[in-house]
Amino acid sequence: MLIDVILIPSSAGDNTQTGQISVVVDILRATSTIVTALANQAHRVIPVLEPEEAFELKQKLGATDCILGGERKGFKIAGFDLGNSPCEYSKEKVAGKTIVLTTTNGTKAALWAEGASMVIFGSFLNMAAICNYIVTCPHDVTIVCAGRQGDLSLEDTACAGMIVSLIGSNYDLTDNAKAALFTFEKAGQIGLTSFVGQTQHGRYLREIGMESDIALCTDLNSIPVVPRLKDGDITILNF
């Protein structure tokens, strides 16, 4: 079996990954937020590409049950209920609700991965949970890093590398998977929170006053859920 890492989705062409497990990773902050929302009993998360789609969907689903979440340039979108910080997705706000989510890179990566037989969402928060799940499946694994507008994101690369480090001994590794592993090894030496704080996106979040999200998104193994995308909805996978 093979483990591969897509470091930059725009480099990967069309998705032809049927028959595989895809793990979508966007540490800062989409997958950390999805994991948090579902752990706080959101009914489901629906990823969409554009704010316009989100507004239309809310109208269709009804305002009572539906929350619009997401960001552009890190900030809450005008007319939306929530931004893209995990701290906004508390039980009080999200329990029982459908969250329609659009973010700059994360929801794109999710929708790109949609062709795989199984699409799950990884972050440092649910690292143990996703690895425990993956090792039960006799399939090739592709970790899809959201990256950052056509570039690699070091925090996503490190998360992918941590998955490779934890489960990789059962798999052949591509060059991409090895590069991710080397990045994780470095992150492990520096410490996750410090490492993520020094990435380009980490520094950007500090600049716009959202530094506290860095610690939130590196709280390793704090949430034992595996989000799964199926038929357009992200819900908790029971296995």
**What is the pattern of x (binds its own copies, CB under 8 A) and - over residues 13-52?**
x---------------------------------------
**185 touches its own copies (CB under 8 A):** yes
Question: CB 22 → its own copies: shortest distance, Å?
Answer: 16
Helix (H, G, I), strand (E, B) or coil at 82: strand
Among residues 75, 28, 83, the alpha carbon closest in space to that of 216 is found at: 28
15, 176, 193, 218: residue in contact with its own copies (rule CB under 8 A): 176
Question: CB 40 → its own copies: shortest distance, Å?
Answer: 30
Our CA angle for 10, 120, 56, nearest 5°, is 70
Tell me the C-alpha distance between 79 and 58, whole Å.
11
Helix (H, G, I), strand (E, B) or coil at 85: coil
Name the segment binding its own copies (CB under 8 A); options: 53-61, 124-132, 174-182, 231-239: 174-182
Q: Where are the beta strands (DSSP E) in the chain?
A: 2-6, 21-25, 44-47, 66-72, 75-76, 98-102, 118-122, 141-145, 172-173, 227-230, 233-236
Residues in contact with its own copies, counted by CB under 8 A, come to a total of 25
**7 touches its own copies (CB under 8 A):** yes
Binding residues for its own copies, per CB under 8 A? 7-8, 10-13, 148, 150-154, 157, 174-176, 178-179, 182-183, 185-186, 199-201
